[in-house]
Structure 1
Amino acid sequence: MKRIPLPFSQFVVKVHSRCDLACDHCYVYEHADTSWRTRPKVIGDEVLAKAAERIGAHAAAHRLPGVRVVLHGGEPLLAGPDRLRGVAEALRAALPPGCALDLRIHTNGVLLNREFCSLFAALGVGVGISLDGDRAANDRHRRFADGRSSHPQVLRAVALLREPEFQHLFAGLLCTIDVENDPVAVYRALAELQPPAVDFLLPHATWDDPPKRPAGRGEHPYADWLLAVHDHWEADGRRFAVRTFESVHRTLRGFTSLTESLGLEPSDLVVLETDGTFEQVDSLKTAFDGAPATGFDVFAHSLDDVARHPGIVARQSGLAGLAATCRGCPVVRTCGGGLYAHRYRGHDGGGGFDNPSVYCGDLMTLINGITARSGPVPLPAQVAAPVVPAALAPAQLDELARGYGGADTVRALGRSQLALTRAMLAAAWDASGQGRPEAWALLSELDAAAPAAVDTVLAHPYARAWAARQLAGDLGTGLGPLAGLAAAAAVRAGRGDAVAVPVRGGWLHLPTLGRIALPDGEAVVTGRADGFTVRAADGSVRTALDEPLRRIRLAGGWTVALEDVDPLRDSHDHAVAERLPDGELLHWTGALREAWELLGHDLPGYADGIRVGLTAITPLRPGPAGRDVSSAARQAFGVVGIARPATAPTLALLLAHEFQHVKLGAVLDLLDLYDRNDDTLYLAPWRPDPRPLEGLFQGTYAHLAVTEYWGTRTLAYDGLPGEAADRARLQFALWRQYTAEAVERLAGSGSLTALGLRFADGMRAAVAPWLAVALPDAAERAARLAREERAMAGG
């Protein structure tokens, strides 16, 4: 089962094909393509069901960790709340386990009201709004068909999204540039709305229908316009994300672009129209009538079929797919030839898309202008050196291979993870264009003057999770978390250092400490020997946390935080719980005390590593009745997510199981145990869906602990009757066989390195003694029946 060269991970789903505005720069209705005229107004049930099925199958076949779906139009709100709910629920239900759905809607905002926002809050739908600036700028193009302004309605929509109840839904603003609008006035109008992000888009144009260039505005008016905005954005401290500017900064430093209109990264996006046809990107509608068409539809063709379409492939060919002029250009790796549609020239043998962008001169001027303004800024010496992780001794690797890991071994993993977090933070800051230099400078200074304070803060599990998101192009949080890390380090150092930290959603978060309720804006945090002070945007001063991070101290020296305040704790595959009320905190405390006692008794070989390595537990929302929910985030060492189960023994099992994932993730960051180019999918004995090799590795390793847990409990019940004893024997018989089969499947994959085969030998040695334990015939029969039933279900 092999992957296609590049699976789709982004989908635009047209839920309504008409619009309630008559914007004269709209690429759907006002450019060359006229296919909208023959399409159904609203996506139908059959199209929706088949589309969800196709997306789910594609995600499963290519083991996608997540997909982004944007609900679009026309104007998608015209589809109505019921249809939008159906779309969201169908998509979410169709995705395979472990595949996250990032669902968004892009709207002109005219119809957005409290009912829609409540629906989107319930469904987890982010909302992006089209707005071209102040009223004068917006009214230049975005009007109703009768000429009325849409600006007041859009401002009401944005105001609604800024309310505390809905603020987390606000995905940002999209602004189409018109060089006749004042760039500073446009920037100020948008900045006043405190968006999390703004996309400034060049108006769609081709060589056949070039963009307007008003007299007296210079040779490159679009570059000049954007550079004026860039300068104010920089001067204001980059208070919101701008993908265009951040993509230039990132690609200049060798990182990936965040937008298809820049950089050489291949496109992984496809569009589904209301009639079920697949199209390429919407911007192609500006080239010629029918330009986006693929000839494929959701009923007759899979997404793999669409991915092989020549037009899709052409947008994935990187440098080789550019015109000869572009391939030799000094800024090509940042420019990327510009947006594919903007290269089109059809008249007079123009070569189709084999041309530079019609904005070529503007793009070069913009890139050179940003380069000249930022210049090369070296990284601080303490983070510029390459990472040399703390090596594991051979005996420690063998110990981990058997599933265990004592205090010294897990501490070694922790040191290597801290080094990796430092490197990733430096890379994320550098890729961002080195915004918030005062926060970075303070972290660097404290790293020399108060290293213990910095180490404590950077060892916070979600510090690395933020860096990973930034490097992957998820800029929703901006550089605010970096300032938060600097502020927390300053508080811990207590030297009187001050740093400005953005407040969003009514909270100032200090990692490892807690959070303070403040008005949105920017607060200045000062660490003092006797605590801290926070001066809010409204001038008020605070000296205490409203919601401190709560820690539970357990016997044997284990202290674990219940992390229910960090906004980045949503890094798990399951929904996180809100701040725990005092009563629930007491339940957690009691359950953890019992579970910790059980771990020491039933899994002593695992308990010591948990004590030194598991620093936090993020409470998750409960799953469906009877289903336990737990998770380990690959980019967050030292934390697991768990919905508190009904019993302490189950909590003990979940802790051990998830910490196995944490340990193995750290090992895989250090060592190559398998061929990373192996894209074959493997069946795990306990799952119905095939998994990539790392998924099989992780599951097998986690079930070493599960096998020992049930084996120990089975031995404790030796000779005793009863329901609990029978259940332990059944689970033991089931999991020891599953785990042994999975070890052999790993070892026989042909993709393990020499170290990987050594690791597999250790896992085989760990499970072998448990295979030799004699069980009653009834337990073996029950386990065999359970395996057969699972196999018949697709396992």
Structure 2
Amino acid sequence: MPPAEERPTFHRLSWRDFDALARLDGDEDTIRKLRRAERSRRKLLLHALLAEAAKSPDLVGSLPPLDSAWELLARAEARSPRTVNRMLTNPYVGSWAGYTTRLLRNGTDGVGPLWMHLGHVHAIAAATAIQAELDFETEIPVWHGNAMLPALGTARLPATEPFTPATVRGAGNRYVVSHAGTTVRLPIAFSSDAPGWWGVRQVRSRVGAHRFSLRLDDLDPYRGLYEPIPPERLPAGDVANWRRLIDEACRLIATHLPELSRIMPVGLNSLVPKPHVLFRNPSASTGEAFGSAVVGLPTDGVALAATLIHEFQHIVLGGLLHLATLYEPDPRERFYVPWRDDPRPLSGALQGVYAFFGVTAFWRALTHSDPASRRATFEFAYWRGQSWRTLQSLRTDATLTAAGRRFLDGIAERLGPWQDEAVPVEARELATAAARDHLAGWRARHLRPAPSAVAELAEAWRSGRSRPPTTFGTADPPPTPVPDGSWSRARADLLQLAVGGVRAPERPGIRPAVPGATAADFAYTSGRFTEAAEGYRAELAATPDRPASLVGLGLALSARGPHPAARALLHRPELVRAVHRRLRATVEPPPTVERIAAWIGQLIPD
């Protein structure tokens, strides 16, 4: 047996750390353990990728042999181990390694030729050597004139060909990138722009003892979620907005969740900025890019704070999943989740539960700070209920491992008691209505009632029975990922306007410009429920299959008091629509959707 110091080191989490992460009690040391494990994983991926590519030296084209990149990294590590560790912590080294490994295994080109992706390791090595202040010379790929040095910036060169090499050289801490007679000198401060050079911008924020540092990376080709993308340089005005919003978000997190503000900078170090999307806070991350999130420009610091917490939770869980198996592979899209309009596999549902658990904690803290805030109390009431509902649907699933059940139990230990915390009546009622709205719309589009049940109900109606048969069943069929009809989020957008969550563009004298909103939607979200019901009836008379109108009528009727049609439209809209479709084809004149819903609703409890 080799001496202890020569034995391989394995990354492990104690059950104490595991349980702390489940309950949002993780500390800086725990997140550092995840980060170190990711660093080791990337080092292993890099070594395996180079070893596999070395079997076919011609794959790198005219670039230097891949061994030279490994040697340059080894020199950098000998000079400055921290520099190599920082580079391996760069999220896009992970996404590059995963993407390129898949291309190599499949023997295919991706976005651009395979040699360009394999050759990116030279760019990684060069950027590391520059930060370690080595004297060296090598070649790196250039993609449409962009020569990327990860975590540093991009040299802008003549685009003589779509994909071509460039030379990087330096001595005495002065470095240049050259191609086709053009030489770009790197500035002393790499994050600064210079002639022919775009630096990766850094955003730093300090709130008391809490320090945040984020790269605002709009350059790295592997910063996307699925495949390489070209640079999308942010205008200076947008950068200023991002700096302001990041500062606001960090201040909010430090003020209301100080424990989280201590660990978040350890696990989140880079943002990929995207344009603003009206009424949305789009964001995403991938397990291969631990430490990074793709984020759309938010409306304010509160929205960004919630988004950063959401993505940090995804990052943490992604790191944990590289150390622990929480579930067996199961790609079936079979779970309803309120944050998506389509069914999700267990893996996606679990990710969402953990992410929105963190978001719920944020809105809870804001609610405790300002109980009169309509926005905070609504968001807390909504997300605590929606996260809890989804968690309950997962906890007994057969594909969970013992560790997975333990993790969900840990979330439940903290999230469960929050369900009973007091919130204003208005917030609770709005949250309940919003939850019913989305779930009913999902059911209408993704559940297909058994044809035999639909036929039996239609026959019972035609025969004049005053009540439907009690045998139409209550168990839900498996959802289908192919939606039956489109869904409008207009009511949810109008609700966000009502509670102050977003600002919509307005023109003098008219309603806010909410895409897809109908007059009935405006009436409903304004509390004019009788007018809303009439509006949805008119919509259904014109388009009886429209899911948003079916559910809208159910919501408007329910808001006026218990009603059998409301019960059917909110709890079994897919059945109401299927029976109505069948009767429209066989009964003249056809009954209204509301009549069918009221008939079926007799057997649906409140």
TM-score by length of 1: 0.49
Q: How does 1:394-793 map to 2 (within 5 A)?
A: 394-432=15-53, 433=56, 435=60, 436-437=65-66, 438-473=68-103, 475=110, 476=112, 477-520=116-159, 521-538=164-181, 540=183, 542-544=185-187, 546-555=197-206, 556-571=210-225, 578-623=232-277, 625-677=278-330, 679=332, 681-718=334-371, 720=372, 725-793=373-441
Q: In structure 2, what is the Cα distance between the partners aligned to 1:496 and 1:792?
A: 64
Q: In structure 1, what is the Cα distance between the partners aligned to 2:240 and 2:341?
A: 38
Give 1:480 deviation, angstroms: 2.6
Give 1:762 deviation, angstroms: 0.9
Moved more, 467-476 or 607-616: 467-476
CA deviation string 1:102-132 (max 9, x = no partner): xxxxxxxxxxxxxxxxxxxxxxxxxxxxxxx
Q: In structure 2, what is the Cα distance between the partners aligned to 1:731 and 1:410?
A: 27
Question: Residues 703 and 389 from structure 1, CA distance in 2 versus in 1: closer, same or farther, beyond 3 angstroms?
Answer: farther
Q: In structure 2, what is the Cα distance between the partners aligned to 1:691 and 1:757?
A: 19
Give 1:456 deviation, angstroms: 1.6
Moved more, 528-537 or 689-698: 528-537
Cα contact 1:704–1:767 (8 A) shared by 2: yes
Question: Residues 790 and 410 from structure 1, CA distance in 2 versus in 1: closer, same or farther, beyond 3 angstroms?
Answer: same
Give 1:576 deviation, angstroms: 8.8
Give 1:389 deviation, angstroms: 4.6
Q: How does 1:57-456 map to 2 (within 5 A)?
A: 388-432=9-53, 433=56, 435=60, 436-437=65-66, 438-456=68-86
Q: In structure 1, what is the Cα distance between the partners aligned to 2:11 and 2:286?
A: 22
Give 1:404 deviation, angstroms: 4.2
Cα contact 2:203–2:215 (8 A) shared by 1: yes
Higher helix share: 2
The one-letter code matched in structure 1 to 2:29 is: D
The one-letter code matched in structure 1 to 2:32 is: R
Structure 1: gaps spanning 5 or more residues: 1-384
Cα contact 1:490–1:526 (8 A) shared by 2: no
**Partner residue in 1 for 2:526:** none
SS of alignment partner, residue 479 of structure 1:
helix
Structure 2: gaps spanning 5 or more residues: 1-5, 104-108, 188-193, 444-606
Question: Residues 616 and 735 from structure 1, CA distance in 2 versus in 1: closer, same or farther, beyond 3 angstroms?
Answer: same
Cα contact 2:334–2:345 (8 A) shared by 1: yes
Cα contact 1:575–1:621 (8 A) shared by 2: no
Cα contact 2:333–2:343 (8 A) shared by 1: no
Give 1:539 deviation, angstroms: 6.4
Q: In structure 2, what is the Cα distance between the partners aligned to 1:526 and 1:572?
A: 31
Cα contact 1:458–1:485 (8 A) shared by 2: no
CA deviation string 1:507-528 (max 9, x = no partner): 2111111111123542221243
Moved more, 473-482 or 663-672: 473-482
Q: Number of residues paired by the alignment?
A: 405
Aligned residues: CA RMSD: 2.4
**Partner residue in 2 for 1:101:** none
Q: In structure 1, what is the Cα distance between the partners aligned to 2:331 and 2:243?
A: 44
CA deviation string 1:630-678 (max 9, x = no partner): 1112210111111111111001000000111111001001111111257
Question: Residues 576 and 695 from structure 1, CA distance in 2 versus in 1: closer, same or farther, beyond 3 angstroms?
Answer: farther
Give 1:409 deviation, angstroms: 1.2
Cα contact 1:387–1:420 (8 A) shared by 2: no
Question: Residues 431 and 679 from structure 1, CA distance in 2 versus in 1: closer, same or farther, beyond 3 angstroms?
Answer: farther
CA deviation string 1:342-375 (max 9, x = no partner): xxxxxxxxxxxxxxxxxxxxxxxxxxxxxxxxxx
SS of alignment partner, residue 134 of structure 2:
coil
Q: In structure 1, what is the Cα distance between the partners aligned to 2:339 and 2:403?
A: 25
SS of alignment partner, residue 421 of structure 2:
coil
State percent identity of aligned pairs.
Answer: 32
